[in-house]
Amino acid sequence: QKEVEQNSGPLSVPEGAIASLNCTYSDRGSQSFFWYRQYSGKSPELIMFIYSNGDKEDGRFTAQLNKASQYVSLLIRDSQPSDSATYLCAVPLGGGGFKTIFGAGTRLFVKA
Amino acid sequence: DVKVTQSSRYLVKRTGEKVFLECVQDMDHENMFWYRQDPGLGLRLIYFSYDVKMKEKGDIPEGYSVSREKKERFSLILESASTNQTSMYLCASSLAGGPASGNTIYFGEGSWLTVV
């Protein structure tokens, strides 16, 4: 059973702080990794995509990937109240298939 | 702007009813998906389709069927709704090659189904 694990939270950080969200996965064959943001009552929307080991930065967001340790993380710098949402880690299964395993998500709360 | 449209946002159905959830995408995507999302369980794949008239079972296909007669349209069918199918249903689409090739999954707004 392939799994993606996330701390469900809630993770609470003050406005302006760095929020760190972590995700571990079990399928060693997975090559690409996604972070989605989901506001309450809304559908998930893409935040970041990463497939190479190391860091990938996009504005206030940085994704970090370590395939050897099988974890991927998302850092949000200068957190804003509008960042308050659930963040989903998504890992397509290796082997070129279409199945993606989603973590249950980490709830982030940014306090003004 | 990419668009996945689910025709019904909120539905209340009775146990045993047949339920149709419709989804249309305007991005000419080859792949379409149906997920359900439940608290604490994350998104779980019900069915997906990589081409017209093609379908593959996901992780929880029991009690569901799908139809894809046109490239842009993917329907989820609950043959006989049960209370344990009360959930939010998300339709999604992606380009050929799927997410394993780095293609983003785009989601619709979701359909909240309550079975009483």
| Residues A40, B91: Cα–Cα separation, whole Å | 17
Compute the nearest-CA separation of A89 from chain B (Å).
10
| Closest CA in chain B for residue A107 | B40
- B102 vs B7, which has greater pLDDT? B7
Count of helix runs (H) and strand runs (E) in chain B:
0, 12
pLDDT tens column, B51-64:
999 999 999 999 99
Per-residue model confidence as pLDDT tens digits over A64-102: 999 999 999 999 999 999 999 999 999 988 766 678 889
| Backbone φ, ψ for residue A66 (5° rounding) | -135, 95
Read off the pLDDT of residues A49-68 as tens digits, 9 standing for 90 and up. 998 888 999 999 999 999 99
CB-CB neighbors (< 8 A) of B23 in chain A: none
- CB contact, 8 Å: A8 with chain B? yes
Interface of A with B in 21-60 (CB under 8 A): 30-32, 34, 42-46, 49, 51
Average pLDDT, chain A: 92
Interface contact A105-B42, CB threshold 8 A: yes
Q: What is the SS3 assignment for B46?
A: strand
pLDDT, residue A8, reads 83
What is the structure's pLDDT at A34? 94
Rounded Cα gap, residues A74 and A49, in angstroms? 10
Chain A residue numbers with beta carbons less than 8 Å from the beta carbon of B44 are 102
